[in-house]
Homo-oligomer: A and B are copies of this chain.
């Protein structure tokens, strides 16, 4: 749907654009009451008003990008934020907002009303079609990160999560591990399901017994608290769905006088900045977080310049980083 412009109002009222502009900006002194009434009626009929604030706020020299994320403290998202911050041109400012699934729609509305020139949405969109209609109507371009499905409405950046899970399985199996466990959160995001699926698919393809599947909180504390269950199992290696859980598992083992990788091999996921600083340093599937941040910014700036360009779908590769938490068994 094409956006109503000041030209449309002028056409409807049968007056010039300048006249409409003066009247809507309170400089109506030199116009007759009849003209004023015609313009105001045309504005009402066409629904020109609602977005006026946002329009006035937009279009300044500084471009404002609203970034919606599920969490600010998860190092995965904070690295993406930092990468955006470091890569932003001088004339761009970024507004970061956390949002729950429930709040996403109202948070987006708030950002739009406050004159954002574009949005980067890093959370699953429950109603992508309605959102797309809402944003296109208001001429606000947006880019989606890490979303489960590509709906084809706009640019999307993903990583190949299934391949990531496969890399972890392949590494552990090559090291001789046959009893594997997956440590996953209670609440699985769609991309995490893909990781798990990749891991399991690889095990099946190599005729191994099904890996154990254990669930806990998505945090370091969650990793530490699942350690007793891991020790009761016969697993010789675990694949933690993110690095924070892997770091928690290492700590939980240390608390019991056990160590990694002698007593258990551990593979994480993400390669957060702490992973290489752990002692032992963490073997993990590295996501290109900095590339995701930089690319999201590039895409949204392109989208602001050319709002009608075709949606781009970018899938970035993950890679295995072998460090000190995994060892060969016989």
Q: How many chain A residues touch the partner (CB < 8 A)?
A: 52
* A85 adjacent to chain B (CB < 8 Å): yes
Say yes or no: A26 contacts B53, CB within 8 Å: no
Q: How far is the CA of A93 from the CA of B247 in the complex (A)?
A: 32
Binding-face segment, A167-175, A192-200, A248-256, A294-302: A248-256
* A303 adjacent to chain B (CB < 8 Å): no
A73 touching B79 in the complex, CB below 8 Å, given contacts A56-B53, A254-B279: yes
Q: Which of B36, B75, B85, B276 contacts A98 (CB 8 A)?
A: B85
Say yes or no: A97 contacts B107, CB within 8 Å: no
* A178 adjacent to chain B (CB < 8 Å): no
* A226 adjacent to chain B (CB < 8 Å): no
Question: Using an 8 Å CB-CB cutoff, how does the interface string of A206-250 with B read, 1 for contact, 0 for none?
Answer: 000000000000001000100000000000000000000001101
Binding-face segment, A110-118, A136-144, A182-190, A307-315: A110-118
* A82: B residues at CB distance < 8 A: 71-73
Question: Using an 8 Å CB-CB cutoff, how does the interface string of A86-121 with B read, 1 for contact, 0 for none?
Answer: 000000011111100000001100100111000000
Question: Using an 8 Å CB-CB cutoff, how does the interface string of A33-44 with B read, 1 for contact, 0 for none?
Answer: 100110010010
Say yes or no: A40 contacts B28, CB within 8 Å: yes
Question: Using an 8 Å CB-CB cutoff, how does the interface string of A68-87 with B read, 1 for contact, 0 for none?
Answer: 00011101001101100100
Q: How far is the CA of A224 from the CA of B114 in the complex (A)?
A: 43
Q: How far is the CA of A79 from the CA of B78 in the complex (A)?
A: 11
Q: How far is the CA of A98 from the CA of B94 in the complex (A)?
A: 8
Q: Which of B96, B251, B273 contacts A279 (CB 8 A)?
A: B251
Residue of B nearest to A81 (CB): B72
* A46: B residues at CB distance < 8 A: none
Say yes or no: A96 contacts B96, CB within 8 Å: yes
Say yes or no: A72 contacts B96, CB within 8 Å: yes
Say yes or no: B98 contacts A97, CB within 8 Å: no
Q: Which of A62, A73, A250 has the most CB of B within 10 A?
A: A73
Sample of 17 more A-B contacts, CB < 8 Å, known A73-B81, A93-B97, A95-B96: A24-B26, A26-B49, A28-B28, A29-B40, A33-B33, A53-B53, A71-B82, A72-B81, A73-B75, A93-B110, A96-B97, A114-B114, A220-B277, A250-B279, A251-B277, A254-B279, A278-B279
Can you list 25 residue pairs at the A/B interface with Cβ under 8 Å? Answer: A26-B40, A26-B49, A27-B40, A28-B40, A29-B40, A53-B56, A53-B57, A57-B114, A72-B72, A72-B81, A72-B96, A73-B75, A73-B82, A73-B273, A78-B78, A85-B98, A93-B97, A93-B110, A95-B95, A95-B96, A224-B277, A248-B277, A251-B276, A251-B279, A251-B281
